[in-house]
Amino acid sequence: MNKPSLLITRSIYPEVLAKLEKHFQVDYNSTDEVYSKETLIQKLQGKEAAMTTGSERIDEDVLKACPLLKICANIAVGYNNFDVPSMTARKVQATNTPDVLTETTADFGFALMMAAARRMTESEHFLRNGSWNKWSLDMFTGQDVFASTLGILGMGRIGQAIAKRGAHGFGMRVIYHNRSQLSSPLEQACKAQYVSKEELLKTADHLVLVLPYTQQVHHTIGEAELKMMKPTATLTNIARGGIVDDAALVRALRAGHIAAAGLDVFENEPALNPELLTIPNVVLTPHIASGSRKTRLAMAELAADNLVAFFEKGQPLTPVNQI
Ligand code: GLV
């Protein structure tokens, strides 16, 4: 029997590649270059399956030009690179990689929040550039995390995992806002209290964004929202670029409307607003929140398992749409 054809759009782990080669006729992008839309369409010609990352946009143009495509397995929990309504209309299965990255991503979100609050990278740059010549009482004093108020916007699996770290490990009061309120047992497990978005912005000492990106939440944190926050507050974004208006954030950090920010995701990444590089009170990381080796391997394995299950059992493990 002929194996189905699969395009793997980026470099993956050898053990996952070896597994996929047992089930598929594989076209593998070993160079890890990000394909242009034209190259992606060309590479997808005649392919029934694709393993993608957030860097490849699967939209109506791609779907129309690649009519044999049956499934795209994203190596990411987020799937805003997929036009899901178009995929569903064209009966293309979409899958993502939830759960396997929850704790690793929550660890990173917490670390980024702490780094921003305690000015870790700003002070490290000061030390590395040779500026440190004496200890001073008020040098790089930041904001406390322990026993402060943690605000979480987007209380899915990762939001809840961050809430638990704050409530149980750091004695924080946890407040959150979400499309829907959690069940009472889940709220108790996270020791979290549901509040309006306005109260979240006004009350949080440390606000962490963990909501999925959709057009509806584009610039959900903009100038007006940043002005509502405390001047001592920090903002951490491990969700997606575009949720924060980065230009407004630059202005808010400069004006002292908030104390500091931690950003792992950016509008138009990997390009970023150049002004961000000139501001000391922001910690910047290159979209690595789920990046422990173990978790990235688990994500690639889950994406592979989705592909195999789809062709062998007719149903992937973690579908995003019903086709
Ligand atoms: C990373 O951003 C992911 O969505 O998994």
Whole domain around residue 187: which residue ranges? 102-284
Are both 96 and 173 inside the same structural domain?
Answer: no
pLDDT (tens digit per residue) in 13-62: 999 999 999 999 999 999 999 999 999 999 999 999 999 999 999 999 99
Are both 116 and 91 inside the same structural domain?
Answer: no
Domain with residue 66: its CATH number is 3.40.50.720
Are both 190 and 112 inside the same structural domain?
Answer: yes
Residue 219 backbone class (left: φ over 0; alpha: ψ -120 to 50; beta: rest): left
Compute the average pLDDT of residues 219-246: 98
Does residue 291 carry a pLDDT above 90? yes
Q: Which is the closest atom of ligand 1 to the Cα of 299?
A: 5
The closest of 179, 163, 161 to 171, measured between CA atoms, is 163
Q: How many domains are there within the chain?
A: 2
Percent of the chain with pLDDT over 70: 100
Are both 69 and 120 inside the same structural domain?
Answer: no
The answer to whether the pTM exceeds 0.95 is yes
For position 1, what pLDDT does the model report?
Answer: 72
Has residue 319 been placed in a domain? Answer: no
Q: Which is the closest atom of ligand 1 to the Cα of 238?
A: 2
Write a three-state SS string for the chain: CCCCEEEECCCCCHHHHHHHHHHCEEEECCCCCCCCHHHHHHHCCCCCEEEECCCCCECHHHHHHCCCCCEEEECCCCCCCECHHHHHHCCCEEECCCCCCHHHHHHHHHHHHHHHHCCHHHHHHHHHCCCCCCCCCCCCCCCCCCCCEEEEECCCHHHHHHHHHHHHHCCCEEEEECCCCCCHHHHHHHCEEECCHHHHHHHCCEEEECCCCCHHHCCCECHHHHHHCCCCCEEEECCCCCCECHHHHHHHHHHCCCCEEEECCCCCCCCCCHHHHHCCCEEECCCCCCCCHHHHHHHHHHHHHHHHHHHHHCCCCCECCCC
Are both 185 and 222 inside the same structural domain?
Answer: yes
If one residue of 82, 105, 210 were mutated to test the ligand 1 pocket, choosing by the most ligand atoms within 8 A of its CB, it would be 105
Has residue 318 been placed in a domain? Answer: no
Compute the average pLDDT of residues 71-97: 98
Are both 122 and 59 inside the same structural domain?
Answer: no
Does residue 148 carry a pLDDT above 80? yes
Has residue 322 been placed in a domain? Answer: no
Q: Which is the closest atom of ligand 1 to the Cα of 79?
A: 4
> For residue 1, how far is its CA from the centre of ligand 1 (angstroms)?
35
Compute the average pLDDT of residues 128-156: 98
Q: Kindly state the tokens that stand for 234.
A: 């920090």
Q: Which is the closest atom of ligand 1 to the Cα of 101?
A: 5
Has residue 323 been placed in a domain? Answer: no
Compute the average pLDDT of residues 267-281: 97
Compute the average pLDDT of residues 252-260: 97
Has residue 320 been placed in a domain? Answer: no
Give the closest residue (by CA) to ligand 1 atom 1: 76
Give the closest residue (by CA) to ligand 1 atom 4: 78
Are both 202 and 121 inside the same structural domain?
Answer: yes
Are both 205 and 170 inside the same structural domain?
Answer: yes
Average pLDDT, the chain: 98
Are both 112 and 253 inside the same structural domain?
Answer: yes
Catalytic residue among 118, 165, 177, 240: 240
Does residue 236 carry a pLDDT above 90? yes
Has residue 268 been placed in a domain? Answer: yes
Are both 246 and 152 inside the same structural domain?
Answer: yes
Are both 69 and 189 inside the same structural domain?
Answer: no
| d(C-alpha 132, C-alpha 129), whole Å | 8
> For residue 154, how far is its CA from the centre of ligand 1 (angstroms)?
14
Are both 211 and 276 inside the same structural domain?
Answer: yes
Sheet with 206-209, strands from edge to edge, namely: 192-194, 173-177, 149-153, 206-209, 234-237, 260-263, 282-284
> For residue 311, how far is its CA from the centre of ligand 1 (angstroms)?
24
Is 240 among the catalytic positions?
yes
For position 295, what pLDDT does the model report?
Answer: 98
